[in-house]
Amino acid sequence: MNFTGKNILITGASSGIGCQLVKDLAEENCSLFLIARRKELLLQLSAELKTKPAKIFVYQNDVSDKEDVSKVFAEVKKEAGRIDIALLNAGTNSKLKPDEFSSEDAENIYGTNLFGIIYWAEHLIKEMKANNGGIIAGVTSLADARGFSKNAFYSSSKAAATILLEGMRVDLSKDNIKVITIKPGFVWTPMTRKNNFYMPLLMDVKKASKIILEGIKKEKRVIRFPLPIVIGSMSLKLVPNFIYDRLSVKMRNTGEKLRDKQKK
């Protein structure tokens, strides 16, 4: 599969992995429909890429707002006619101190990381069924393996998104809709810059984007990287709870010390 002639929708397109995906896909002869809360950043990105082969359309949207998603989807459909590939990439993390626990914070994180996929997928599935197929790729995280210390909302939202996409993949295969789960490790983005813990094997966003796009071309069911973190996250699932509880706190405390060095 290649991207030539495809209509590609990307949420969370204004920064981080989403922004880099846009830059890389702009080199292709395709149409890009960019979705983000901050329209001014999308306009800047569009202007930066105006000499590239891809046609670019920008839409302001809060993916956690169901009504807003419905409105913007209708606008995209009117312009595009059909969506061939959807990269549901929008994500967020806690804006609170690690020891604070807030239902409002949980709603914000789940609203973007989980319902941001659900609300868009609801429309995309209907559209792709009518058009005899398509690709829906959702970005989750290797942090979905366990409930990590001081990061429970984020890791649980990503775990829910991973399971959601897996179920969608099974159910939609009969409709020629391919569902891909993208599970990155630590990637250097504006969001991860705010992390107050050590991030092993921190990856450049350009490399991450390349891995993701190559995986989509090959229509992989799951795209996960880097390999050492993949192995580590899989191993963590096998650790007994009484050991994991102690290990998790120790990893967090050690990680905070290493993060101070990483910042330097």
The structural domains of the chain, with segments of one domain joined by +, span 7-263
228 vs 80: CA distance, rounded Å: 40
DSSP β-bridge partners for residue 88: 11, 138
What is the radius of gyration, based on Cα positions, of the chain? 18
- 66-99 pLDDT, tens digit per residue, is 999 999 999 999 999 999 999 999 999 986 666 7
Q: What CATH number should be reported for the domain whose range is 7-263?
A: 3.40.50.720
- 12-21 pLDDT, tens digit per residue, is 999 999 999 9
DSSP β-bridge partners for residue 135: 85, 178
Say if pTM beats, i.e. exceeds, 0.85. yes
Low pLDDT (below 70) residues in the chain = 95-98, 193-198, 253-264
